[in-house]
């Protein structure tokens, strides 16, 4: 089986962001730009043509995707909102969990039908109050699954017939069947990460259906085939690997976010690139990100 990583390729720092909790990378093909968030730093960042722009907010911004009517759809601490750039204007739209003030949104993905799949979590990481939601462009917001402390990494297979969703603290990735109406069924445990390899965090799929899983506290990204079998691992120079996505002109560069969260002074001294945005050249190819409402 051919390797998925380009020969002699190693992860390189493309921006020393020093993010507290870098997350949610989005490749914008129109701009040829990489957007990502620092959840705990309340920032959205964008790398384009070697330059980085930043926008700061009064609360957590946890994911970002293009909106078909212009601007972006984003998840904040408690709300789903419309974001306009470059001015950074937010228009809050939906608040699915007003009864759970200790929860916040975390990761999200947009499917090929233009729906947003987004997860909530207990911000204190102690209660199983997190859920997975499907949000349609008309505002229909339906809870699809629940019982998570930390939800993570919703991604879809290339054909859109499977959705993968992570229970991070249980170190378990579930697989759901997705029907033609965007409904989930047949939830099954798909991949369990060993205890000594950290916890599964954000992830992405390539065009072959391989699943690229970032491991918080695990110093690696693991690549699994569509049957859940481990194919390869990418060793990383920092411990807390949070999420990844394919980008670049041919969608073969894997961009990787990382975090300083949870590292003490000694660990930070040993990992000077913790919180940086990394990239590695691959021999795989990703897919264009979905647009909400498209």
Active site residues: 201
DSSP string, the chain: ---SBPTT---EEEE----SBEEEEEEETTTTEEEEEETTTTEEEEEETTEEEEEE-SS-EEEEEEBTTSSEEEEESS-EEEEETTTTEEEEEE-S-TT-TTEEEEEEEE-TTS-EEEEEEETTS-SS-EEEEEE-TTS-EEEEEEEESSEEEEEE-TTSSEEEEEEGGGTEEEEEEE-TTS-EEEEEEEEE--GGG-EEEEEEE-TT--EEEEEETTTEEEEE-TTS-EEEEEE-SSSBEEEEEEETTTT-EEEEEEB-TT--HHHHHH-TTTT-EEEEEBS----PPP-BT-
Q: For the CA atoms of the chain, what is the radius of gyration?
A: 17
């Amino acid at each position: 089986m051919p390797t998925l990583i380009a020969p002699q390729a190693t992860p390189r720092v493309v921006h020393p962001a020093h993010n507290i909790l870098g997350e949610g990378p989005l490749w914008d093909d129109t701009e040829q730009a990489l957007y990502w968030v620092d959840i705990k730093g309340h920032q959205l960042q964008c790398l384009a043509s070697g330059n980085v722009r930043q926008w700061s907010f009064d609360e957590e911004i946890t994911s970002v995707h293009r909106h078909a009517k212009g601007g972006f759809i984003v998840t904040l601490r408690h709300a789903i909102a419309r974001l306009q750039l470059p001015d950074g204007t937010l228009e809050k739209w939906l608040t699915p969990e007003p009864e759970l003030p200790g929860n916040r949104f975390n990761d999200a993905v947009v499917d090929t039908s233009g729906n947003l799949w987004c997860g909530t979590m207990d911000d204190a990481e102690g209660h199983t109050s997190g859920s997975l939601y499907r949000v349609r462009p008309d505002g229909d917001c339906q809870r699809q699954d629940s019982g998570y402390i930390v939800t993570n990494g919703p991604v879809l297979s290339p054909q859109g017939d499977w959705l993968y969703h992570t229970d991070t603290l249980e170190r378990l990735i579930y697989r759901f069947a997705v029907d033609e109406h965007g409904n989930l069924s047949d939830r099954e445990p798909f991949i369990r990460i060993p205890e000594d390899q950290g916890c599964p965090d954000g992830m992405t799929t390539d065009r072959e259906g391989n699943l690229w899983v970032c491991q918080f506290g695990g110093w690696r990204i693991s690549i699994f085939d569509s049957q859940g079998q481990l194919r390869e691992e990418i060793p990383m120079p920092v411990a807390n690997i949070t999420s990844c996505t394919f980008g670049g002109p041919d969608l073969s560069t894997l961009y990787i976010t990382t975090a300083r969260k949870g590292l003490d002074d000694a660990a930070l001294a040993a990992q000077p690139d913790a919180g940086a945005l990394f990239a590695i050249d691959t021999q795989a190819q990703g897919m264009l990100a979905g647009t909400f409402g498209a």
